[in-house]
Amino acid sequence: MSSSSSARSGDSQAEASSSRQAYVRQDEGPDVEDIHDSDVLASDPLNGSLPEGVSFKRKQKSRAGLFPQFLSSPFSSSSGSRNHTPSPRLSPKPNRATRRQDGGLRASTNAIDDPSASTDAILSYLEQTPTNADDPKETNPLDWYVEGPGRRVGYDDLTAIDWIFEYAKERQRLRQLFASAHGLAGYLKGFIDASQIWLVLVATGIAAGLIAAGIDIASDWLGDLKSGFCSTQFYLNAAFCCWGYDSSSKCTQWVSWSGALGIYSNGGGWTIEYLFFILYSVLFAVLASVLVVAYALYAKHSGIPEIKTVLGGFVIRRFMGAWVLVIKSLGLCLAVASGLWLGKEGPLVHVACCCANLFMKLSPPINDNEARKREVLSAAAAAGISVAFGAPVGGVLFSLEQLSYYFPDKTMWQSFVCAMVAAVTLQFTNPFRTGKLVLYQVTYHTGWHGFEIVPFAFLGILGGLYGGLFIKLNMKINEWRNSSGFLRNSIFLRNPIAEVASIALLTAIVAYPIKFMRAQSSELVYTLFAECVDLTEDLLGLCKSGIANTGVIFLLLVCAILGFFFSALTFGLEIPAGIILPSMAIGALYGRVVGLIVEVWQRDHPNAFIFANCEPDVPCVTPGTYAIIGAASALGGATRMTVSIVVIMFELTGALTYVLPIMVAVMISKWVGDAFGKRGIYESWIHFKEYPFIDNRDEVDTVPDVPASQIMTRVEDLVVISATGHTIASLDDVLTNNRFRGFPVITDREDGLLLGYISRTELAYALSSATTSRCLPNTAEAYFSHQPLADPGTTLDLRPWMDQTPITLNSRCSLQLAVNMFLKLGLRYILFTDRGLMQGLLTKKDIWYLLNGAEEGRQGAEIGSEGAIRPGLGVLREDRVDMSAEERGLLGEQVDGVVDDSLPIDDVEGASRWRPP
């Protein structure tokens, strides 16, 4: 134990301190009655005896009004009441002896010499008002003297959250809120607190619906601008400009670019239209890429892999900021209009989550709790899918099945409300003026027959093949895109903007001569889904009959193959891009092909026994239904989703009759796709970017049946900190010389009993705050265990910043148990002990390596000339910062796979490579 120099003035003072300490140590738990400072100081412990009536028995607590007993709090009692147990997080009131759960009293002998000084002089620094009340780190210092998980100063970028701590913090906040809630004002306070999350959800749904409507309108206008403009009102697209005309050929307000230039010959007009189509396609794609690269790199791609990682407990700062929301929305309009094979459905999920993140900043109870923030983000993701497909229920199921890590019943209800509000807002804006939430929403008038279950199952097989091959091809392309080589070093591929321009140019050159690829993806999908009787104008020639069907079938197959390669090439560029709509378009293309083949077969052989159920003179086969089932199979093969796809397709068509064929196709597509690999496209990108995401729904049967001691990082390879013998300067040296994210704390080097765990962030902040706010010198003593003789005014007690209740397991437990605890509890680390002795440690990153089969000696990241990691290998490499501790695991392994051996770990004061005796 350590003590201050002022606490060693003589033997009499030491005896007085010991006597007073014995007087206060009445119990070893928090259930003893509260003893007020006035009671303690009423009789001098040096000259008197213990007062009468002091009992060690636990007294019954009185009920506080109408609230149940578990809501009671010392805040609701009078100053003289002794019938309430202090709340674990409540700090002592002024003029009271500070009680601790271990029964000790933090006091110096100086205060005992002058009893009238009470504890005000000793704990005066605890009463100081924070210098910056707006800083979440500057919380009330009175809650320091509480044992438990410790105080937190927030999470650094690219780190995992502590789910258990966050929910414990929320329960404690609610206890304090309800304990102080009395009367009408108290009920009003509780109502306001409970209503904040609903206000955030409603505001998020409204914002997501309005932004989605704006993106629909802007992208349609920009897409039609490639072929011409409206002469009367330039801001109208072709559909609105020619509103009311039966045929587009009769519309004189819409002027093509060849007509605007006065070129009316067929060859010349076609050439001019071709050139303008290429020009605008490349221009829109380049503008979208410039916005992303120059202003918000996090706005690229779909954002769903990152959102899934964030919902799993990872922190990616600035990923959902206001600037990302603006750039993502503008870039999405331009990218969709460019004609590249991408969609806006996935990015709309990111847009909705950005809206939720901004609104949560207005609600401190939600914004200050990372676990509650992720519940709101799960609901916002449902709103994004709701406005993307016009499917509120499908959005909720999408969030449940694909995105969310933790999805309790209350989150499902919140997701439903947010998704419903978003869909209602989109319906109110009515961007297409047709009453449809999305352009490709269709209605079918006929049912299906029993013989069609075979081609439906065949579509499921095609969807699984598409999904498996697409994921492998897309991963290979992006691995090559981020690798080095002669072709990769060319000017068109070294610069991300030039790469986007080159692919946009290639897509436009190939797409324009093929009318199916020339159309916007949403228009193409609608045409493929719709029945011929519902098409007012067959611009693509899908409803031709007779021999013309052969050419249409061939053209659809060519478009499906080209779309497959263009989608694999586009998904991964530095632009906002989703994969849902391109997959649906490809599936609709080959689905329509199968439908046309079956239709021709039935028409040519109406008397075949398999067509016996077809009625004469009535169309028996509807090719549009094959298109939507093909779209569902392709989407299932690419994403490996099941239930949510079925519900989304049902909400798109409104035909309950086709739920069973869709279920069959999706089920088979998932089975076939899983034969190529268990990961869907989003999980593959998470693995490609090396995000430390551990899905709690993953099967862990592959975990070896060995003790955790064979996998954990042993204590010999860790840097541990002893409880005493430190100064602020020595602990600063520990942080400087070691880049680990945290340190286990033990009693001393001889015993090695585990006391807790302190994170690097909390330790650094506590040391900095002690030297700046409290003006302690660097030679001030610092400790991690109870020191009854230490002067709290001149020493630094680091127990409040230490997790004194970490999750621990016996080192001989099975590895399967440790992995299950990581998956189910969302832990950041587990400490292993043997009869209290520190044995080793496992982190979330270790489990990620284990479950993903990471091998030692993987290819490292490219290091630039300035020592910064080059961008292009994921978000972890985009910040271009020095190799700091936040890019390394607790075990010294860099998150991106680069192991740093440049900093040897020397034996310094308080930190050593400790070995058990």
Is the predicted pLDDT of residue 761 greater than 70, yes or no?
A: yes
Tokens for 131?
Answer: 């210098």
Residue with tokens 């193409």: 524
Pairing of strands 796-797, 781-783: parallel
pLDDT score at 284: 97
Residue 546 pLDDT level (bands cut at 50, 70, 90): low
Paired tokens of 465: 């093949």
Q: What's the rounded Cα separation, in Å, for the pair 898 and 859?
A: 8
For residue 483, what are the CA distances in angstroms to 488, 493, 896? 7, 11, 15
Helix (H, G, I), strand (E, B) or coil at 694: coil
CA distance 342 to 344: 7
Nearest CA to 715 among 799, 805, 781, 808?
808
Half-sphere exposure at residue 401, Cβ-oriented, CA atoms within 13 angstroms: 19
Helices and strands, number each (H, E), in the chain = 30, 13
- Directed axis angle between helix 453-481 and helix 623-639, to 10°? 40
N- to C-terminal Cα distance for the chain?
21
798: three-class secondary structure by DSSP: coil
Enter the DSSP assignment of 744. Answer: E
Query: What are the DSSP calls for 745-757, one per residue?
Result: EES-TTT-BEEEE
* CA nearest neighbour of 522 among 343, 288, 662: 343
Confidence of residue 87 (pLDDT cuts 50, 70, 90): very low
Tell me the DSSP string of 830-873: EEEEETTEEEEEEEHHHHHHHHTT--TTPPPPPB-TTSPBPSSS
Q: Is the pLDDT of residue 25 over 50?
A: no
pLDDT of residue 531: 86
Q: Does residue 30 surpass a pLDDT of 50?
A: no
What residue segments make up the domains of the chain, in order of their start?
196-429, 452-689
Beta carbons of 598 and 558 less than 8 angstroms apart: no
Considering the domain delimited by 196-429, tell me its CATH architecture: Orthogonal Bundle (1.10)
Query: 462: which DSSP letter?
Result: H
> How many Å is the maximal CA-CA distance in the chain?
116
The pair of structure tokens assigned to 714 is 């042993």
Phi then psi dihedrals of residue 166, to 5 deg: -65, -45
Report pLDDT digits (tens) over 593-648.
999 999 989 888 888 888 888 888 778 888 999 999 999 999 999 999 999 999 99
C-alpha–C-alpha distance, residues 91 and 145, integer Å: 7
What SS3 state is found at 758?
Answer: strand
61 confidence band (pLDDT: 50, 70, 90): very low
701 band by pLDDT with thresholds 50, 70 and 90? low
Q: Mean pLDDT, to the nearest integer, of 6-35? A: 37
Tell me: domain 452-689, CATH 2.60.40.10, correct? no
Q: Using pLDDT thresholds of 50, 70 and 90, give the confidence band for residue 473.
A: very high
Distance in angstroms (rounded) separating the CA atoms of residues 23 and 104: 10
Are 630 and 662 in contact by the 8 Å Cβ rule? The answer is no
What is d(CA 770, CA 773) in angstroms, rounded to the nearest whole number?
6
